[in-house]
Amino acid sequence: MRTFIIGLLLLCTTATSWARDLAPIVTVDWLEKNLTEVKIIDIRKADEYREGHIPGAVNVMYGGLAIKKNALDNEFPLLDDFTDILNAAGLTSKSKVVVYNKVDNILERANMTRIAQTLVYAGIANVAVLDGGWNKWIADKKTVIKDTVAVKPATGTFVFNNKILVDQ
């Protein structure tokens, strides 16, 4: 739980330093009403995404944005690779993004906020996590689709905010 709270605090704290149109946490009811207004990122495994996902959601698996480098887990990919992943998902620095994951355990909740914070690091100011994640979406019997979402890749660049990184 502590990891989730720390990630959420980082997301909220960092987000306040930029102009935001999107709250750091959104409800399933809000998302359902705003599906076409935001980019939705599903960070679950590809097979879980194919079994069903929120309409409009693009699958960007957690491991693509939190990689192993040397002996360290959960590191950022190389900036060129990072940019390619974001562009392939159709994201730009102006995107309004909602990230969701399963929330069966603390690690899955922490991963959701980790990816949200990663997007903030990439210069995307309007990033939120879905309160209750995939589990709440299903529990509230919201619409689920199985078709892969066609993504129009973006071609933008990102200004990575190194000010939010801890340097030893």
pLDDT tens-digit readout, 118-161: 999 999 999 999 999 999 999 999 999 999 888 999 998 899 98
pLDDT number for residue 142: 98
Query: How many Cα atoms are found within 13 Å in the side-chain-facing hemisphere of 57?
Result: 30
pTM of the model: 0.85
Contact residues for 2 (Cβ-Cβ < 8 A; gap 6+): none
pLDDT number for residue 10: 47
The residue type of 18 is W
pLDDT number for residue 167: 65
Report the DSSP beta bridge partners of residue 97.
39, 127
pLDDT tens-digit readout, 1-34: 444 444 444 454 444 334 457 779 999 999 999 9
